[in-house]
Amino acid sequence: MNALAGTSRNFRLASRLLGLDSKLEKSLLIPFREIKVECTIPKDDGTLVSYVGFRIQHDNARGPMKGGIRYHPEVDPDEVNALAQLMTWKTAVADIPYGGAKGGIGCSPRDLSKSELERLTRVFTQKIHDLIGIHTDVPAPDMGTNAQTMAWILDEYSKFHGHSPAVVTGKPIDLGGSLGREAATGRGVVYATEALLAEYWKAVKGLTFIIQGFGNVGSWVARLIHERGGKVIAVSDVTGAVKNQNGIDIPQLLKHKEATGSLTGFSGGDSLDPSELLVHECDVLVPCALGGVLNRENAAHVKAKFIIEAANHPTDPEADEILSKKGVIILPDIYANAGGVTVSYFEWVQNIQGFMWDEDKVNKELKRYMTQAFHNIKTMCQTHHCNLRMGAFTLGVNRVARATLLRGWEA
């Protein structure tokens, strides 16, 4: 089941639990605006090439729309739609005053030079500049884009609208980016994990963790768990997997990966078949990579007691049912990985005020938001007698539905 089908299914289940009116339910699913633009640029060799760019603005009942821009060959309107909708519920779960959006360009960033990427980003911004804005729609980096991409968007947008640092988040620090933004998603995952474990009278210290994915999110999760005395016993990424039953020395592994660009050949652990990683014995499994990695083929063999969804949509609905029957506690992606968008919100606030925070304040506020959101999810679980995934979806959908009704959606 793809991300769109999975998200829509969870939305409908939540909507039934909340007893939403069928007309309101339908209106909440329909995107506010779908934008499609042709971006034609000269390549470095002088030839012209054209790419299709999208921006799907899903909902603005609770505030400006928010969501990443991805550069990937498989960017298509269906996937972008699902992710825009997911952002609407995610910002509501975190209780930050945003709606949801998502965008992208169907291109292969690796095949483009830096100057070609800059031209493409600027043309895309020229085509959509009057449809995004500080109080309208605030983009951020996603797959295939980064702080540099945001700097180009900011510069191009400012040519039309004057200096506007708050139009994008995830910017370089020198252009008004927030301290703590790079670590935010991973740090939020750890705060979410601590909130969940506290419910079971447990702490990170002394528990065993397995982390799938060692990019920005996975490496920060590993580092912060290691600092808190948790034992990371296995880690994987596209280059391979490494395990050490006594706990991997994460700072050493980070140095090794930086030096070699790979996890393989690390002297502080043994290599492991990446396909075995998800079903290896541990207390807490943290998928930080791709969607759909837990499915009906492997779900029955998962031995973890807790699964923290740091990736988007890592658990298929079939796997969800199998794992729930086994008594595995799943902390859903819609909440677990909301640290990134929460600190994006802090960046936006700092830009609007023209007053920057220190890193301690960013992390303290992030912890407060993540902990509060967890308690709100638990309240919904008790009210509707449901699991954490439905607790999060009912919390998010209910907030958006209430804002929509208060604004007078039928007028």
Binding residues for substrate: 66, 90, 344
Q: What is d(CA 337, CA 145) in angstroms, rounded to the nearest whole number? A: 18
Sheet holding 99-105, edge to edge: 33-42, 48-59, 99-105, 65-71, 137-141
Q: Binding site: which residues?
A: 66, 90, 185, 216, 344
Catalytic-role residue among 102, 231, 243, 257: 102
3-state helix, strand, coil in the chain (%, to 5): 50, 20, 35
Which amino acid, residue 323?
L
Joined tokens for residue 388: 């954490």
Radius of gyration of the chain (CA): 21
Q: How far apart are CA 405 and CA 34, in angstroms?
A: 23
Instruction: Judge whether 102 counts as a catalytic residue.
Output: yes
Q: Which long-range contacts (CB under 8 A, 24 or more apart) does 364-369 make?
A: 366/180, 366/184, 366/187, 366/188, 366/191, 366/339, 366/342, 367/191, 369/94, 369/95, 369/96, 369/342
- C-alpha angle with apex 166: 164 to 172, nearest 5 degrees? 95
**Residue 34, number of CB atoms within 10 A of its CB:** 14
Other C-beta atoms lying within 10 Å of the C-beta of residue 296: 12
H or E element that contains 380: helix 359-384
Name the residues annotated as catalytic.
Answer: 102
